[in-house]
Amino acid sequence: MGHCAFSLVGSSGLVDVERFMPSPDVSVSDPYAPRPTFWQRHAEMVAAATVFVFTIVLTVMAFPPFKAPEFAYACFVPAIFWAYTRPRLKLFAWTMFAAQAVTWTILLGWLHHVTWVGLFLLGPVVGAWVGVWFLAVWWTMPRMIGRPTMERLFVLLALAGAWTVVEWSRTWLLTGFPWLPLAASQWERISVLQIAAYTGQGGVSFVLVAMNLGFAAYAHRLFREGATGLNKRSQEFFLALFLLLVCLSIHVQETFNRGRFTVPLARIAFVQPYIPQDVKWDPLKGPGILDVLEKTTLAAASSRSDLILWPEAVTPWAVRGNNDVRGFVESLAKRARTPLLLGSIAIEQAGQPGEQWFNGAFLVTPDLGLSSVYYAKRHLVPFGEYVPMRPVFGWLKKFVPVGDDFQTGPDSSPLVMTLRGAQVTVGPLICYEDIFPTLARASVRAGSDVLAVLTNDAWYGEGAAAYQHMAHSVLRAVEMRRPVLRCGNGGWSGWIDEFGNVRFTTLDERASVYFRGTGAENVTRDARWIGRQSFYVEHGDWLIGVCGVLVVAAFVLLRNVQPRVAPPGNVTLLKF
């Protein structure tokens, strides 16, 4: 009627148990047997729904504007734990795709201020791209049951590496959209961020994913394998914890007694004109915009600052190519007696057949006026500043109603200025260029002492966009070991030191970043990093290559291993 098979090995070996099961040729019908409950009949769908909900909630809450970054250590645990049970591939794949599509649509919800269609296209696309990693988890976790410790630890590193590679690949998705890497969730937890100076942001994401895998392995050990006594220990969890401690040790080493090395740089003023997007490019509103710039700039000058920052494309007409606007900013710099670093438009060969438009950053000094050297944005926003594949999509219009397609800048073109009698080289990053580590790295390698992000997040309302965006600037500051100055049209404006500490935020009386006004603060530097480059700046994305090797090696190791499912009960299924 049934069979029972036991295979027992010593305490250092594998224990496998098959429980009593009806023989396949025997029909069992017991009218007095208890009827299965709803949850028992639909256990697989209940598991899918639970994983779906918890994945969305934990992931969304881990990122700005929410203040629960610790959820990033557990947002993948439900899916990983479920994968151990080897659910049907189709169900698992659709559940995780749906969860990631919803997650990213929520995270990018601010995009609806510009385009609903773009939001409902981009959210699922990014979700599907990220969701590829979960398929690797589904394939891998059942193969880990009963494997030796060293194999399991190696595969944990490989899976964390696979996530890191997937994140890195988003730098060229749709011409590049690496928005919100997992590392960005930790922008207020600088203790875990310091490893980025060696590995880039990928190292932080690597550790966070390793912690998710460690927690899931621990949970599986306790609840699925029924481990008791010393067997409750999870080597995967301890390895992940070790990686986290490495991050913390770097934090202690880098920030200990740092006050001894702090030296002043300059007093910087930030101007937020908060020009509404529906009037920004209206020629009839141009004089009013210039009036706002004049009043806010003169107010900023009263703080006796050494430099005044304006946001991206702040003037209603091009500062280079329009003599009236050029005269306005030069006159304003003289009246303020302070240099201006501003975002505006450059039109080269204006009115000629070869006319070109650039989104740029410009330096205006009281004595020399507008510098002939300017920075031109290197990574343009598709459909915002240009239409990609113009022969195919030529019928589409940009959502920024100014000029024709913009041109990309040729290089990092840092701007050199004198602040408090010392020469300082500033590397501008315009709009969302600060989400690309390679652009900031190129600026630092070109000699930038400070990074300046000039942006206009007012396109996206007063929601999560400004905070999500500035989280990337925190990562860039740590990676490059350079102070980052940020100036937004309506927020977020302020400065971040070399270790990712947000040292100043421009706020109004309501403690909001969304307002028209100014703020000023004394910016300092860490003397240990003046003229010195971080390991990441010197060596770039070396971690991606290492992660790629780990992924390939893990696949070779496991390709002939058969997946297993741990039966519930007090049985140990691990080799030591």
- Asked if 416 and 424 count as a contact pair (C-beta separation under 8 A), the reply is yes
CB neighbours (10 Å) of residue 98? Answer: 17
Residue range 394-414, pLDDT digits in tens: 545 555 666 678 899 999 989
pLDDT at 385 over 80: no
The enclosing H or E element of 488 equals strand 484-488
Buried b (16+ CB within 10 A) or exposed e, 49-58: eebbebbbbb
Q: Residue 69 has what pLDDT?
A: 97
Residue range 509-560, pLDDT digits in tens: 999 999 999 999 999 999 999 999 999 999 999 999 999 999 999 999 999 9
Mean predicted lDDT score pLDDT of the chain? 89
Q: Helices marked H in 414-504 — which ranges?
A: 437-445, 465-480
Dihedral of alpha carbons 257, 259, 262, 267, sign: positive
Burial (CB count <10 Å: 0-12, 13-18, 19+), residue 274 = middle
Q: Residue 178 has what pLDDT?
A: 95
CB neighbours (10 Å) of residue 371? Answer: 15
Q: Residue 397 has what pLDDT?
A: 57
CA distance 383 to 396: 8
Q: Residue 392 has what pLDDT?
A: 52
452 found inside a domain = no
pLDDT at 201 over 60: yes
Q: Residue 232 has what pLDDT?
A: 72
Lowest mean pLDDT among 169-173, 375-379, 444-448: 169-173
Q: Residue 467 has what pLDDT?
A: 96
CA distance 250 to 479: 13
DSSP 568: S
pLDDT at 320 over 60: yes
Domain count for the chain: 1
pLDDT at 278 over 50: yes
Question: In which band, very low, low, confident or very high, does the pLDDT at 351 lie, cut at 50, 70 and 90?
Answer: confident
Of 209 and 228, the structure prediction assigns the larger pLDDT to: 209
Q: Residue 36 has what pLDDT?
A: 74
104 found inside a domain = yes
Question: In which band, very low, low, confident or very high, does the pLDDT at 22 lie, cut at 50, 70 and 90?
Answer: very low
- Asked if 142 and 563 count as a contact pair (C-beta separation under 8 A), the reply is yes
Q: Residue 389 has what pLDDT?
A: 54
326 found inside a domain = no
Q: Residue 394 has what pLDDT?
A: 54
Q: Residue 20 has what pLDDT?
A: 37
**Residue 186 has which token pair?**
């930790």
Amino acid at 565: V
29 found inside a domain = no
% of the chain at pLDDT higher than 90:
75
Q: Residue 218 has what pLDDT?
A: 93
Q: Which residues contact 310 (CB under 8 A, 6 or more apart)?
A: 271, 273, 293, 297, 340, 341, 342, 343, 454, 487
545 found inside a domain = no
Q: Residue 559 has what pLDDT?
A: 94
Residue range 455-487, pLDDT digits in tens: 998 888 898 999 999 999 999 999 999 999 999
Residue range 129-141, pLDDT digits in tens: 999 999 999 999 9
In terms of DSSP bridges, do strands 484-488 and 450-455 run parallel, antiparallel, or are they unpaired? parallel
Whole-Å CA distances, 380 to 126, 357, 383: 19, 12, 9
Residue in the structure block whose two tokens are 């959210």: 123
Average pLDDT over residues 45-67: 96
The enclosing H or E element of 360 equals strand 356-365
The enclosing H or E element of 452 equals strand 450-455
Range of the structural domain that residue 120 is part of: 40-256+551-558
pLDDT at 339 over 90: yes
The enclosing H or E element of 425 equals strand 422-430
Average pLDDT over residues 333-347: 96
Q: Residue 193 has what pLDDT?
A: 97
Question: In which band, very low, low, confident or very high, does the pLDDT at 145 lie, cut at 50, 70 and 90?
Answer: very high
Half-sphere exposure of 99 (CA within 13 A, CB side): 27
% of the chain at pLDDT higher than 70:
88
Q: For the CA atoms of 94, 99, 104, 110, what is the dihedral angle to 10 degrees?
A: 120
508 found inside a domain = no
CA distance 159 to 554: 9
Which phi and psi (to 5°) does residue 232 adopt?
-65, -20
Lowest mean pLDDT among 269-283, 329-343, 400-414: 400-414
Of 331 and 173, the structure prediction assigns the larger pLDDT to: 331
Of 279 and 361, the structure prediction assigns the larger pLDDT to: 361
pLDDT at 128 over 70: yes
119 found inside a domain = yes
CA distance 376 to 509: 35
Of 114 and 302, the structure prediction assigns the larger pLDDT to: 302
Lowest mean pLDDT among 244-248, 350-354, 477-481: 350-354
Average pLDDT over residues 29-36: 69
pLDDT at 3 over 70: no
199 found inside a domain = yes
Question: In which band, very low, low, confident or very high, does the pLDDT at 5 lie, cut at 50, 70 and 90?
Answer: very low
Buried b (16+ CB within 10 A) or exposed e, 190-217: bbbbbbbbbbbbbbbbbbbbbbbbbbbb
